Structure 1
Amino acid sequence: MQRSELDRVVDEIRSFFTDNTTRMTEQVGRHPASAYYDPDWAARERRMLARYPMILGHESQIPNAGDFRTDDSTGVPVLLVRQADGTIKAFLNICRHRGARLCAEETGNRRLFVCPYHAWSFKTDGALMQTPRPEGFDGLERESYGLAELPCEVRHGLIWVQLERGSSIDVAAHLGRLDDELAAYGMADMVMERDEYLDFDMNWKFVIDGFLEVYHFAKLHQNSISPYFYGWHSPWDEFGRNGRLIGVRKSFDTIRDADTSVMSNWDLLKTIAVNYVLFPNTVLVWQGDHFESWTAYPGKRPDTCRVRVQSITRKEDAVPEKKEKWDRNWKILIGTVVAEDWAMCKTIQEVAPYMPGDELVFGRNEPGLHHFHGQIQAATDQMNT
């Protein structure tokens, strides 16, 4: 975060303490509970998600030419391959002959991808190289039957893929003013420390919701993180479809009345936690010495989802000697989010169809919820215009 913006955030938090308030919307919001359980609503959201860049990993996971990863988290089979020129391309992991899954391994290194069904082979750039018994395919325009490529871009070390073929991808434009802010953290020089999937019985949007307000800290997290964070006084800012919520640590008390002009960025940053909501389905949490990335994908039913949880840190910290530290951090992370937030959301999922008036309430003190769900609705509506 740039220093001018950090100073502004600190001043805003101070004003919240003085006035005993937090960031507020003009009025209370009301949102259909059916957004979490209706199959038609879920189908529209899946189509909408395909139109936006989604994070499928960090480039450190495929560092060398020919390195690849397969990814089914979005519900679409994707093959990511590092090219000879250092770029990364994304393809549908589908053979163009009869639709077999081209590559079954999760990761590895190859010069050719050979279909296990009829041995059609493809180069790492997706070009069709060989069809056994080629006389059987006289008249086939081979150059038109390479792997289907998906829009893909590496930015801030993250691999962004758009599932809608034929569209263009511009991550910087998508991030807007957040692009420079994220660049300042140097994620491109970091590496993936941990990358795991969690399947859960709740709508995918619940994952994002949990990072959009701190109002629940005092009660839900009273025995975990509440002693370390304020459940009030949190700045919220919008950046186009994206957003940023600041969590205020209790350690902010040490700088509330101090002359922060003589303090370093780190002195200020260590008193807050920063949640970046990257539309449409990722929350990136800055935790000082690492980032947590939470990406939620809709399941086959509205009440299921798959969540990709990643830990991205500095190279010197992603070493075997520090594994115990990261294991301990992971245990706290899962114990808080899964055992508390998601357990609660699962119960909400179960009763959502019975909500009086099919209505959920977003408080004035929950501006992140207003914004995120408004952007989901707007992006979904745009498909019909």
Structure 2
Amino acid sequence: MARFPKPAEGSWTEHYPQLGTGPVSYEDSINPEFYEVERKAVFKRAWLNVGRIEQLPRKGSYFTKELKVANTSIIVVRNTDGEVKVYHNICRHRGNKLVWNDMPLEETSGVCKQFTCKYHAWRYDLDGNLTFVQQESEFFDLDKSRYGLVPIHCDVWEGFIFVNFADRPEQSLREFLGPMITDLEGYPFDRMTSRWHYQSEVKANWKLYMDAFQEFYHAPVLHANQSPTAYSKAAAEAGFEAPHYRIEGPHRLVSTSGVRAWEMSAEMRKPIEDICHSGLFGPWDEPDLGEMPKGLNPAKCDPWGLDSFQLFPNFVLLFWGQGWYMTYHYWPTSHNTHIFEGTVYFPQPRTPRERIAQELAAVSFKEYGLQDANTLEATQSMIESRVLDEFVLCDQEVLVRHLHKETAAWIDQYQRGTAGV
């Protein structure tokens, strides 16, 4: 595999001198006290993606989301005017969880005209207004207009639904995203409705898993067994460097070249890939998606492999050159555990062959993800030993540096604000 040149002057890391080049600490990934501050300083202040508009296909459609990091459950719903609204999933009477099925801690979805509490049958319309109280006359001067559902700030960008738990968000969603992300506008997200979703609890801090997908230094080694021996051996010996990194505000991007799998020699491919015309890079038959937005493939790679946009704090948009995309979410559940969600999006298949090609790509992604998760649990177990307290990073790991430094900066800003500094 070819190595790509460095920027015209210096390394990638040196282009961001504020990050430094020394060893880094992972105390932020093993300290329970740090995690408790991080929940307030980061996850209750940043805009968080909780889903896509296709999950709300009609008026009255809703889904719930369990967000342990914010110590709440939320309801995301399309109201009668077609607008997206988000509420805390709690009844104003006695605090029962309002929307759930058989298991209170499991997420659910559906369509309704109103939400009815299972406990005492209080009812709320899709705009969160309290509309019915069982035996209302038994209450003392009850003003129903004061007891609607508790709203949460929400906004939609390119079909992605974001929430913000701050009393007053410090930035609008668009300001928070910034030009690097908004330059993705125009990508045909609405055509990508063939969807596969995976979820797993990982016994590692959420940042460690994000780190794994912010560099490709590990790929020729960790994922060697996913490729034919001749190819993986050559890749490991040659190494790999991405041709483009970018940091903008709290967000990050790594862009890479790719390979046209069908142009590789037969011994470099797996038999199943020849049968299904697909693999890790996606289906070989690239769909016609029209002109791509200016924010993609900034290095002008030919062939282009993928762009991975890391949206702070815990959301990743990953675009493949073969005409499909993925999202990752990392939802913390403690200082050393989190829920990882991976979702794969393709255009609707037109033939059985296209469907099979999409399924092979989705399954290939799942296998790679499991390899990363398994390694990160081993990492978590050893950094918690505190045998070492600092770790060296190479130039390809510049985005790893940035995530940990940015998290620390948000915490410092929060603590200064709460201390009145």
Report the Cα offset of residue 196 of structure 1: 3.2
Change in CA separation of 1:310 and 1:318 when aligned onto 2, cut-off 3 Å: farther
Change in CA separation of 1:154 and 1:269 when aligned onto 2, cut-off 3 Å: farther
> What SS class does the counterpart of residue 391 from structure 2 fall into?
strand
- Establish whether residue 56 from structure 1 lines up as the match of residue 50 from structure 2: yes
Q: Which amino acid aligns with 2:37?
A: R
Q: C-alpha separation between the residues in 2 aligned to 1:141 and 1:18?
A: 67
Report the Cα offset of residue 274 of structure 1: 0.4
Change in CA separation of 1:181 and 1:345 when aligned onto 2, cut-off 3 Å: same
Q: C-alpha separation between the residues in 1 aligned to 2:86 and 2:354?
A: 33
Whether contact under 8 Å (2:242, 2:254) holds in the other structure is: no
Q: C-alpha separation between the residues in 2 aligned to 1:285 and 1:73?
A: 23
Change in CA separation of 1:164 and 1:196 when aligned onto 2, cut-off 3 Å: farther
Report the Cα offset of residue 326 of structure 1: 2.9
User: What corresponds to 1:126 in structure 2?
Assistant: 128
Change in CA separation of 1:219 and 1:14 when aligned onto 2, cut-off 3 Å: closer
- Establish whether residue 376 from structure 1 lines up as the match of residue 385 from structure 2: no
User: What corresponds to 1:335 in structure 2?
Assistant: 367
Q: Which of 262, 278, 283 matches 2:316?
A: 283
Change in CA separation of 1:358 and 1:379 when aligned onto 2, cut-off 3 Å: same
Q: Which amino acid aligns with 2:247?
A: E
User: What corresponds to 1:248 in structure 2?
Assistant: 257
Report the Cα offset of residue 195 of structure 1: 2.9
Map of 1:41-80 to 2, 5 A cutoff? 41-47=34-40, 48-75=42-69, 76-80=72-76
Change in CA separation of 1:132 and 1:30 when aligned onto 2, cut-off 3 Å: same
- Establish whether residue 38 from structure 1 lines up as the match of residue 3 from structure 2: no
Q: C-alpha separation between the residues in 2 aligned to 1:208 and 1:321?
A: 33
Q: C-alpha separation between the residues in 2 aligned to 1:61 and 1:123?
A: 19
Change in CA separation of 1:244 and 1:74 when aligned onto 2, cut-off 3 Å: farther
Q: Deviations over 1:132-181 (max 9, x none)?
A: 11122232332221111111111111111123344466221111112432
Change in CA separation of 1:297 and 1:29 when aligned onto 2, cut-off 3 Å: farther
- Establish whether residue 181 from structure 1 lines up as the match of residue 183 from structure 2: yes
Map of 1:210-359 to 2, 5 A cutoff? 210-224=212-226, 227=232, 231-250=240-259, 268=301, 270-287=303-320, 288-299=322-333, 301-314=334-347, 316-317=348-349, 322-338=354-370, 340-359=371-390
The runs of 5 or more residues in structure 1 that have no matched partner are: 1-12, 255-263
Q: Which moved more, 1:21-30 or 1:45-54?
A: 21-30
Whether contact under 8 Å (1:22, 1:235) holds in the other structure is: no
Q: Which amino acid aligns with 2:343?
A: Q
The TM-score, its normalising length taken from structure 2, stands at 0.78
> What SS class does the counterpart of residue 392 from structure 2 fall into?
strand
Q: Which moved more, 1:355-364 or 1:326-335?
A: 355-364
Report the Cα offset of residue 268 of structure 1: 4.7
Q: C-alpha separation between the residues in 2 aligned to 1:313 and 1:30?
A: 40
> What SS class does the counterpart of residue 62 from structure 2 fall into?
strand
User: What corresponds to 2:397 in structure 1?
Assistant: 366
Q: Deviations over 1:68-94 (max 9, x none)?
A: 001114552010101122211111111
Q: Which of 5, 8, 12 matches 1:23?
A: 12
Whether contact under 8 Å (1:33, 1:353) holds in the other structure is: no
Q: C-alpha separation between the residues in 2 aligned to 1:348 and 1:359?
A: 13
Map of 1:147-226 to 2, 5 A cutoff? 147-167=149-169, 170-191=172-193, 193-224=195-226
> What SS class does the counterpart of residue 43 from structure 1 fall into?
helix
Q: Which of 79, 83, 106 matches 2:79?
A: 83
Change in CA separation of 1:286 and 1:151 when aligned onto 2, cut-off 3 Å: same
Q: C-alpha separation between the residues in 2 aligned to 1:372 and 1:247?
A: 19
Q: Which amino acid aligns with 2:126?
A: T
Q: Deviations over 1:221-267 (max 9, x none)?
A: 22336859862143110121111101232459x9xxxxxxxxx9799
RMSD, matched Cα: 2.8
Whether contact under 8 Å (1:211, 1:283) holds in the other structure is: no
Report the Cα offset of residue 42 of structure 1: 1.1
Change in CA separation of 1:363 and 1:16 when aligned onto 2, cut-off 3 Å: closer
Change in CA separation of 1:101 and 1:317 when aligned onto 2, cut-off 3 Å: same
Q: C-alpha separation between the residues in 2 aligned to 1:322 and 1:73?
A: 35
Q: Which moved more, 1:118-127 or 1:187-196?
A: 187-196
Q: Which moved more, 1:87-96 or 1:133-142?
A: 133-142
Q: Percent identity?
A: 22
Q: Which amino acid aligns with 1:31?
A: V
Change in CA separation of 1:140 and 1:165 when aligned onto 2, cut-off 3 Å: farther
